Structure 1
């Protein structure tokens, strides 16, 4: 889509062209008219989709020069690095040198920030915790705010900064709210439901042009760590199917904890690779695990582990999504004709990593329904606004709701059998 169709001013189109932007991204094409129209939106898109440039353009279009000392725009970001990136984008695209921008991301005293704000400002870019601290000292005037923007909202939630975001949003009064995120999940909804009414959710996906040749990839969305343990125990009951399994976790401490949490009627069935303590069941080398008939489940920590020879292992479980996507990719990309099923457990907080993996391999993981007899660990949830109040772009589309949401048609499955049956079919295919 051409830049002219975004209905930007000629000055901004020129600035975009000078900055090297040739055309509008999909998320800019979908959201710009709503931003310029003053609507509240939740924009969902992967890294590199152009979300930051999107709202910078919207702010520059909507913001009118004035001599008011109070800021008209507040942009909340999760880190100092992100704040500097946003400020740099404004400086690149803004031709109005009278526009005043201040960053609030320091860790020391707030006196200088307060003095800078008193001198007058149009746009404030800051961390939620820092902005809230200055607001509580009466240094941040929210009375003239026109736009309240949260960027990288999923990271802000992951870092536990929901409270300052909500307090600042409620203090802002009536203004336009723009939320930009990579994923939408329950904890994010719990935050934005406290100050958003009837937003429009707009989502774009960019899975890349090329598809990687991978093993079969299955995804189980689960609410928490304890439910992951319950699910793994439930699936591993079928020892006929899961005769050799490697389970990956992120740390050796988690490996130790998981090893003690998995049920087994026979000793030696569950073991840990390079255990923390000498008296734990474990192996120093994966080849020893492969050659030991009674050993069915090997727990491996990503932490400090070198590349492993996984040949001959038909089932790989990622109990935790690796922090680096390259770690995951190195295990699931096909290097031979072996039939392998790679099963991933993901909480809401890990969905960001899952999205990055899907973007890298050019396809989505197959989402599996949780077994009916799974015991789901209950977690106390904060009370928020009824999710039915959130208005989607299409009334007949899927409704949000974290890990437990209706699947898009492209992701829905037309079968209703469990992992045991699916795995048996895979194994049967393997040995046929």
Structure 2
């Protein structure tokens, strides 16, 4: 099938051709026709399947075919969970609307709002936004959503994970009840279905791949290793094989910074990307990684969600995520657009439960290797470490407990899907 068969305008086909695309991806083939028909759509698609064009192209077609004579107002709102994803979606909107008389902009927290406000005041048709900054500007009376015709929730599952549910509910009340709604999510979880039931009107449900499956082109491997030897092992793997572009995941911001410093000390160019980094630092790190001046990008899950890094060859889980679905999101950064990729996980004793849950989710036993000199500790506890807890706070297998294990754990837990979000995305 070619893009010509989907019913898109000549201006959009010209923009698509300019980007070098000839055939739509499966999610584009399935999502674009019902969207063009004005139907609500609930789509399941992993990052890297072409989902952004799956909603951007028909959205732009609809807006251009139904131009308004009134002063430009926000007619389409695309909500994303992170700044990086918002910037990338906006870049796609700009590219595909090059030959259309439509204006667009992006707003997110962590940067000065004045330039964003100035652009909105000039009039925009399409607004890409993160929930926090959107509500900040709306509360200040600096934008209106009264004329929104199309709403897109991109990576809706991650928005729930990050605690944006209340913000989404507030945003819903600011728009006309009569509008077209599009929801894209990596999974059709119970919470996503519940959210969809409250927003979508008789939606068409489409899926690019079976729910929660991993890309076949990705080679997965586990290295069993003692927790204290993980840093030395990851440096050895990257150095010995001379890997040039590696995305590494850690659970915490502190862990990302610490690992990044160790790599730099070992002569490996590396940069960290997480919520405590300024937007300028994050943009610079990502640009360096894409250009090749930075070999290793160390990231937390939230900061890395939605990153568009073409032909990324290697993803390493320095620590396994305690949410199994996050493993699928992480390794989905590689093996994209038909290219092969490698996903490696460094697994210590306390991550055994996480590994078992991940294998159950992906439906396969991941091959295990042990590198000589980096063997796992046979006496280490297999009790999963809690968020914010260090090794001394966990009992070992001999049932001897450290006195610190009795101390009250005041660490923050991963936000639940019901957590209220009030800040303007500054943490992400």
Aligning the two structures, in what range does the TM-score lie when normalised by the shorter sequence?
A: 0.5 to 0.7
* Residue 121 of structure 1 pairs with residue 98 of structure 2: no
- Report if aligned partners of 1:102, 1:121 keep a CA contact under 8 Å in 2: yes
Gaps of 5+ in 2: 234-250, 263-299, 305-313, 344-357, 364-414, 419-428
CA deviations 1:268-298 (Å, max 9, x no partner) are xxxx8559xxxxxxxxx9xxxxxxxxxxxxx
State the match for 2:168 in structure 1: 165
- Report if aligned partners of 1:183, 1:352 keep a CA contact under 8 Å in 2: no
CA deviations 1:371-416 (Å, max 9, x no partner) are xxxxxxxx9986xxxxxxxxxxxxxxxxxxxxxxxxxxxxxxxxxx
Q: In 2, Cα distance between the equivalents of 1:20 and 1:213?
A: 31
- Report if aligned partners of 1:358, 1:365 keep a CA contact under 8 Å in 2: no
TM-score (norm 2): 0.52
Q: CA deviation at 1:20?
A: 0.5
Q: In 1, Cα distance between the equivalents of 2:52 and 2:220?
A: 32
Q: 1:355 to 1:185 in 2, by over 3 A?
A: farther
* Residue 196 of structure 1 pairs with residue 173 of structure 2: no
Task: Count how many residue pairs are aligned between Structure 1 and Structure 2.
Answer: 271
* Residue 107 of structure 1 pairs with residue 110 of structure 2: yes
- Report if aligned partners of 1:73, 1:147 keep a CA contact under 8 Å in 2: yes
- Report if aligned partners of 2:90, 2:106 keep a CA contact under 8 Å in 1: yes
State the match for 1:77 in structure 2: 80
Q: Secondary structure at the match of 2:48?
A: coil
CA deviations 1:341-368 (Å, max 9, x no partner) are xx99745555534766998679x94459
CA deviations 1:104-154 (Å, max 9, x no partner) are 124356455444323322111111111111122222222211100112223
Structure 2 residue aligned with 1:352, among 310, 313, 329? 329
TM-score (norm 1): 0.52
Q: 1:11 to 1:326 in 2, by over 3 A?
A: closer
Q: In 1, Cα distance between the equivalents of 2:219 and 2:118?
A: 54
- Report if aligned partners of 1:183, 1:351 keep a CA contact under 8 Å in 2: no
Q: Secondary structure at the match of 1:102?
A: strand
- Report if aligned partners of 1:83, 1:103 keep a CA contact under 8 Å in 2: yes
State the match for 2:49 in structure 1: 49
CA deviations 1:151-202 (Å, max 9, x no partner) are 2223323322222222112321221111122223234344444423432321
State the match for 1:420 in structure 2: none
Q: 1:211 to 1:37 in 2, by over 3 A?
A: same
* Residue 38 of structure 1 pairs with residue 38 of structure 2: yes
Q: In 1, Cα distance between the equivalents of 2:128 and 2:5?
A: 28
Q: 1:357 to 1:111 in 2, by over 3 A?
A: closer
Gaps of 5+ in 1: 216-245, 249-271, 276-284, 286-300, 307-321, 332-342, 370-378, 383-432
- Report if aligned partners of 2:11, 2:99 keep a CA contact under 8 Å in 1: no
